[in-house]
Structure 1
């Protein structure tokens, strides 16, 4: 009987792991003229799938106190879905941008929670162009930015080096909720085993991958299933390399929502 219970617990754990993967979308397109409709529809159609949506009004929050009306309308609609977390984009130039400038962006995004008309509060910050840990002197800079973000009632921190962390791996993952360890082409992803792209020291549930230049005939489902089998926290594929197109979102959401994950080999073909 104990063996059966242990087996059932293991199966439940695996099922939970397979279901934990979310969809991370660089939602960089302007939200006017129904540009985000496919995102709204995908979010609504898959309420059990977590969506992490990164908005970027002007390479950051912009220079005005609050975003323009189209963003206010779009963000408030996204916030109406319980499975969505909206994050604000900022960049760090691999830790060379003045920390005070990044902190201004954090403060600007945090202030959106005070907007009286609609709910445009953000869940966190997406830090783009972060280092891969090879320069160990950069870690403190990002630990401080993470602490500033959390102290500003922005509870989620995502770092995007776009490559695997090479040093101080536990410390980097302790400072972030997700780290995008792969942001590169579909062709490069399938050319190597996932272990070549991602750091080896666990933290799979905090790892995210973003594939661009995906061929239109590529199997989005296979990549997503592999990500789920690996227990990755979030995945995205796009057909372009500037993240303006959103036609892949619905396919990714369908694949992530599938209850059963199966092992499909190292290359995800």
Structure 2
């Protein structure tokens, strides 16, 4: 359960490097990659905005003739996205065998095999640049998990075969999905830790096929005490402002409103305020979406609008 926000604090604008787009792309590419055209258009329209895009065919690289790189749709779509100089593609792996209830339980041989499978995409002409590790350890300090994650990070960044495929500085992103005792993982120096992944809308407007937000259950309703409040009151007290540049914030369910306190309605103007607050606080990467991981054209937070707003916030 996430912490209850307290008082809103205001941080001065920083001179940190620009906030990147971190896009969880679990959508099937279809039509020779045509389903990903809105993402391509957003990258083209905002050449100064850099994006890390997580490809996930099937909780990993997929296997068999009709999944992953063996599927010509993924090959076509991956090549189109990777051709953008401002985009880096990351392959999805995960550490949990029970949907995140426990972490670091996927056998080493299996997760290593998935990482090496992602490297084979490079042989097919899709420039993969690193790995996104989902269901990473959260809310605890466990020596076995620390060793597991450190070994994964070292493998990705130093294995000669992987470095040859991914490039001289392979990207590593951890996704614990929430705040907690994460400092040992920051000390491993991943590019980012997704230390806050949550939803904007209230539970009564969440769930179903519309978004990733649970219609039942408790989550941090994003910025329900005003723009920047979830970072100030939930994220920073847990992970520290010093880790901002290595932290990512992902927000789903940008529709309806976020509760009676701030009562912010999901409009493009409000999106500008929320994204501006993320950038002002020096957060390294972010993503807002109306729905979840499989659809990016629903208003108001279409991928084109989010890219435009983030690019403008970085330039402000």
Q: TM-score, normalised by structure 2?
A: 0.72
Name the structure with the higher helix share: 1
Per-residue CA deviations over 1:127-160 (Å, capped at 9, x if unaligned) read: 1111125132211100101111112123000000
User: Which residue number in structure 1 is paired with residue 223 of structure 2?
Assistant: 190
Query: Structure 2 stretches of 5 or more lacking a match?
Result: 1-12, 97-102, 202-220, 257-265
Deviation at 1:67, TM superposition (A): 3.3
1:173 Cα deviation after fit = 4.4
- Tell me, yes or no, if structure 1 residue 180 matches structure 2 residue 194: yes
Of residues 198-207 and 24-33 in structure 1, the stretch that sits farther from structure 2 once superposed is 198-207
Task: Give the SS at the match of 1:183.
Answer: strand
259 and 58 in structure 1: CA distance in 2 versus 1, 3 angstrom threshold: closer
- Is there any run of 5+ residues in structure 1 with no aligned partner, and where? 1-12, 263-269
TM-fit CA distance, 1:261? 6.8
SS of residue in 2 equivalent to 1:77 = helix
Does the 8 Å CA contact 2:26/2:57 hold for their aligned counterparts? yes
Choose from 265, 273, 276 the match for 1:222.
Answer: 273
Instruction: Give a deviation string over 1:70-107, Cα, whole Å, max 9, x none.
Output: 11111111111110000011111121111211111001
Which of 137, 141, 151 pairs up with 1:135?
A: 141
* Partner Cα distance (1:171, 1:201) in 2: 15
1:203 to 220, 236, 243: 243
Residues 25-46 of structure 1 deviation map (CA, whole Å, 9 limit, x = unaligned): 1111001132111100000010
Tell me the equivalent position of 1:254.
Answer: 308
User: Once structures 1 and 2 are overlaid, which stretch shifts more, 182-191 or 97-106?
Assistant: 182-191
Distance 1:67 1:181 in 2: 33
Q: Cα RMSD between the aligned structures? A: 2.1
Structure 1 position 170, deviation (Å): 5.1
Contact in 1 for aligned 2:91/2:132 (Cα 8 Å)? yes
Task: Determine the structure 2 residue equivalent to 1:30.
Answer: 28
